[in-house]
């Protein structure tokens, strides 16, 4: 199942679990299962935040049985054992705001000890713990890796599976790219993934202390490179490489390898080097005909060309973003940007659409002014179409 397909199904299930539990009828607690680092927990968090829920993530592998059942105390007069509850369990049935919704995520459930799984069984099956019912404004979801992922997952008794509604999540390229764009992952990384989509998830399970690439590690790499760009005052990864790592490929490879493994590092550096053979974005905005150099560099490799074109598209967006409040921006530059967008559209309509969607959102006034000033009939029509679509989106 794709992450984009999960959201609606998960929302239905967390609500329905409460409904059918009250009727005394079976309905499993959602359990998301999949490889390491593909965004299982993040998918639940995103759904919860959309509904303005309070999110609590409980890492199941850190729990002991006593954490759930409480600390056993022997009562001599009654010849029985009572359990003193731990403070953090209040999030399940106490001190809650009745006007808010809560999403409780039991993360890495498969790595939990069997005594913890047993203690949580009434919670997942009947929404109860220690004879107390979980409030209706508390929703419960669990996540787990698979045993083949070599991440410490324990065998699950067959009968225990009936407590859950098990969804198997896959890595989907389009979903991941949309997430990366939405969350400002470095465009050089997104562009690289267009050239080699297999690198999105190239993470063979092993007990050795080596890393591969997965969606979470790739996001971590983006953060790592952003920190270095900030410290060294560089605008993008290409500038960072040229100024500080060009003479030391080995060090740059180690920086990347630390997050996503050696194969990703080698291929990513090769991708970055391609940009040294094509004009920079400022030159292309001054002279759109230079865009033809892109096709020459990557004419024998379609994926490589798409990755480079994507990066150029994002640089155009960055230029527009930096200048969206600039009322004196050279009209010729704006016309040249439209020429570049047309050239990109002739090769990859999906990438051109990405640019235009962002243009619609952020640069409506700029293009309205340009539409009035444009002397080129073809560009005038393009601008009018942009403005019309933008106005329709903003109604």
CA distance 278 to 148: 44
**Ranges of each domain in the chain:** 3-168, 173-394
Of 310 and 255, more confident:
255
3-state class of 133 per DSSP? Answer: strand
pLDDT of residue 194: 84
Residue 345 confidence (pLDDT) above 90: no
Residue 282's pLDDT is what? 81
pLDDT per position as a tens digit, 55-81: 989 888 887 766 676 555 556 666 665
Q: How confident is the model at residue 334 (pLDDT cuts 50, 70, 90)?
A: confident
Within the chain, residue ranges assigned H as helices are 3-22, 40-50, 65-69, 90-93, 114-126, 173-182, 187-195, 215-231, 237-240, 249-260, 262-274, 281-286, 292-297, 302-323, 331-347, 349-362, 364-373, 377-394
The DSSP symbol for 152 reads -
Average pLDDT taken over every residue of the chain: 81
Buried b (16+ CB within 10 A) or exposed e, 258-278: ebbbeebbebbbebbebbeeb
Tokens representing 179? 């997430």
**Pairwise pLDDT comparison (104 vs 73), residue with the higher score:** 104
Whole-number pLDDT of residue 21: 86
Tens digits of per-residue pLDDT, 160-218? 888 999 999 999 998 898 888 888 899 889 888 988 899 999 999 989 999 999 999 99
Q: Which of 172, 153, 207 is nearest to 2 (CA)?
A: 172
Q: Tell me, what's the pLDDT at 66?
A: 64
Better-predicted residue by pLDDT, 393 or 239: 239
Query: What pLDDT shows up at residue 227?
Result: 97
pLDDT of residue 276: 75
Domain 3-168: top CATH class? alpha beta
Give the position of tokens 């020459």. 296
Tens digit of each residue's pLDDT (9 = 90 or more) over 14-55: 889 888 888 888 899 999 999 999 999 999 999 899 889 999
Which of 12-26, 163-177, 239-253, 353-367 is predicted least confidently? Answer: 353-367
| Comparison of pLDDT for 236 and 200, the residue scoring more | 200
């Amino acid at each position: 199942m794709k992450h984009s397909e999960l959201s609606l199904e998960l929302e239905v299930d967390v609500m329905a679990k409460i409904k059918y539990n009250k009727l005394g009828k079976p309905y499993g607690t959602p359990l998301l299962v999949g490889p390491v680092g593909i965004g299982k927990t993040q998918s639940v968090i995103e759904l919860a935040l959309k509904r303005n829920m309070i999110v609590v993530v409980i890492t199941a592998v850190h729990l002991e049985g006593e954490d759930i059942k409480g600390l056993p105390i022997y009562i001599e007069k009654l010849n029985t054992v009572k359990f003193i509850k731990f403070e953090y369990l209040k999030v399940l049935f106490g001190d809650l705001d009745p006007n808010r919704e809560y999403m409780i995520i039991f993360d890495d459930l498969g790595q939990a000890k069997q005594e913890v799984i047993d203690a949580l069984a009434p919670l997942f099956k009947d929404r109860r713990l220690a004879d107390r019912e979980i409030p209706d404004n508390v929703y419960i979801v669990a996540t787990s890796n698979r045993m083949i992922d070599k991440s410490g997952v324990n065998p699950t008794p067959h009968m225990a599976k009936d407590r859950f509604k098990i969804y198997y999540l896959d890595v989907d390229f389009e979903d991941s790219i949309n997430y990366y764009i939405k969350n400002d992952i470095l465009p050089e990384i997104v562009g690289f993934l267009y050239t080699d989509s297999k690198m999105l998830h190239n993470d063979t399970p092993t007990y050795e202390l080596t890393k591969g690439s997965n969606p979470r590690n790739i996001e971590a790499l983006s953060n790592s490179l952003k920190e270095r760009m900030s410290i060294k005052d560089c605008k993008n990864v290409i500038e960072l490489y040229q100024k500080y790592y060009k003479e030391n490929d080995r060090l740059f490879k180690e920086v990347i390898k630390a997050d996503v493994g050696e194969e990703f590092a080698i291929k990513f550096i090769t991708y970055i080097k391609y940009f040294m053979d094509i004009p920079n974005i400022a030159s292309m905005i001054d002279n759109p005909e230079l865009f033809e150099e892109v096709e020459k560099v990557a004419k024998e490799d379609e994926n490589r060309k798409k990755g480079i074109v994507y990066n150029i598209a994002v640089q155009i967006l960055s230029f527009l973003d930096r200048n969206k409040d600039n009322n004196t921006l050279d009209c010729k530059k704006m016309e040249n940007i439209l020429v570049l967008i047309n050239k990109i559209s002739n090769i990859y309509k999906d990438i051109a659409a990405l640019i235009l969607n962002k243009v619609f959102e952020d640069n409506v006034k700029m293009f309205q002014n340009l539409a009035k000033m444009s002397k080129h009939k073809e560009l005038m029509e393009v601008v009018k179409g942009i403005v019309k679509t933008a106005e329709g989106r903003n109604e």
